[in-house]
Amino acid sequence: MIQVTNIHKTYDDGKVQVRALRGIDVQIEEGEFTAIVGPSGSGKTTLLNIIGGLDTPTQGDVMIGETNIAQLSENELIDFRLNHIGFVFQSYNLIPVLTAKENVEFLMLLQKRDETERNERTTKLLQAVGLGDQINKKPNEMSGGQQQRVAVARALASKPDFVLADEPTANLDSTSTANLLDIMLRLNEEENITFVFSTHDQRVIDRAKRVITVEDGKILSDVAK
Ligand SMILES: Nc1ncnc2c1ncn2[C@@H]1O[C@H](COP(=O)(O)OP(=O)(O)OP(=O)(O)O)[C@@H](O)[C@H]1O
Ligand SMILES: [Mg+2]
């Protein structure tokens, strides 16, 4: 479903060149629950951002289904991301003035889905992440763990092909981390949602079904469990 071929990424500010990715080849199938691990600066965020169309490679191809997103224009990418990819960020990135329900609903509004569908799906997703009784709370009225569960519900609202998460548990305590992992694994196993996430957390790595280790912008190992 995701086919990354010979990706290179060099950041160049005119003075300094940083070779963040140096020839990455990887294939990710539907239904995977895959962790990308590696030392700080190894290229995990760069790789996730390129797979998600948030950044463009210097060289190489990223096929998502039948689409080579490395060839899309900025406007085409915005549209593609909206309809195909869900994102969860380290710092939750919820919209502070919107409630949990409104945050989850937001991308469905952009997709012009009708109100009945929006309401049904929002309720179902917030229940699935254990927040059925918190739907009218704003982010600052929720714990970090609750906010990140809203972010997972939001990532799924647009019916993406897969969810990318860059260190989703980095700001969570161990209980909230375990809780979020339980929810993500359940969505993976019961609804066949594909998750690809980066992490430094051994407890998260332990629960991944495939672990891809990146070092110096290259894949060092790729282990399915
Ligand atoms: N926008 C940018 N401009 C210049 N260099 C960048 C940029 N983004 C990342 N880099 C560099 O690219 C390399 C890879 O960075 P990246 O953020 O992908 O690493 P990471 O594995 O996610 O690290 P961490 O575990 O600390 O999040 C690093 O050397 C980093 O300094
Ligand atoms: Mg990173």
pLDDT digits (tens, 9 = 90+) for 80-116: 999 999 999 999 999 999 999 999 999 999 999 999 9
Residue range 213-219: average pLDDT? 98
Both structure tokens of 60: 């190489």
Residue 31 carries which DSSP code?
A: T
The fold for domain 2-224 equals Rossmann fold (3.40.50)
DSSP-assigned beta bridge partners for residue 87? 164
Ligand at minimal distance from the CA of 200 is 1
123 Cα–ligand 2 center, Å:
32
Pocket of ligand 1 (CB under 6 A): 11, 18, 20, 38, 40-46
Say which residue the tokens 């191809």 belong to: 61
Q: Which chain residues have CB less than 5 Å from ligand 2, an ion? A: 44-45
Supply the pLDDT for residue 225.
87
Which ligand 1 atom is nearest residue 200's CA?
25
Shortest-distance Cα residue to atom 8 of ligand 1:
46
**Torsion angle in degrees (nearest 10) through CA of 153, 204, 162, 120:** -20
Mean pLDDT of the chain: 96
119 Cα–ligand 2 center, Å:
34
Which is it for strands 59-64 and 2-12: parallel, antiparallel or unpaired? antiparallel
- Substitution candidate for ligand 1 out of 8, 18, 200, 216 with most atoms within 8 A of CB: 18
pLDDT digits (tens, 9 = 90+) for 178-208: 999 999 999 999 989 999 999 999 999 999 9
Shortest-distance Cα residue to atom 2 of ligand 1:
11
Model confidence at 12: pLDDT above 90: yes
Q: How far apart are the C-alpha atoms of 18 and 29, rounded to whole Å?
A: 30
Q: 41, 77 in Cβ contact below 8 A?
A: no
Q: 149, 183 in Cβ contact below 8 A?
A: yes
Shortest-distance Cα residue to atom 7 of ligand 1:
11
pLDDT band (50, 70, 90) for residue 172: very high
Alpha helices in 67-192 (DSSP H): 74-84, 100-110, 115-128, 144-157, 174-191
Q: 198, 204 in Cβ contact below 8 A?
A: no
98: burial class by Cβ within 10 Å (0-12, 13-18, 19+)? middle
pLDDT digits (tens, 9 = 90+) for 111-166: 999 999 999 999 999 999 999 999 999 999 999 999 999 999 999 999 999 999 99
Per DSSP, the three-state class of 77 is: helix
The candidate with the shortest Cα–Cα distance to 87, out of 138, 158, 139, is 158
Say which residue the tokens 């980095």 belong to: 170
Residue 83 CB neighbours (<10 A):
14
pLDDT band (50, 70, 90) for residue 215: very high
Say which residue the tokens 């300094």 belong to: 16
Which ligand 1 atom is nearest residue 217's CA?
14
Per DSSP, the three-state class of 215 is: strand
Ligand at minimal distance from the CA of 212 is 1
Residues 6+ apart with CB under 8 A from 99: 135, 136, 137, 138
pLDDT digits (tens, 9 = 90+) for 23-82: 999 999 999 999 999 999 999 999 999 999 999 999 999 999 999 999 999 999 999 999
pTM for the model: 0.95
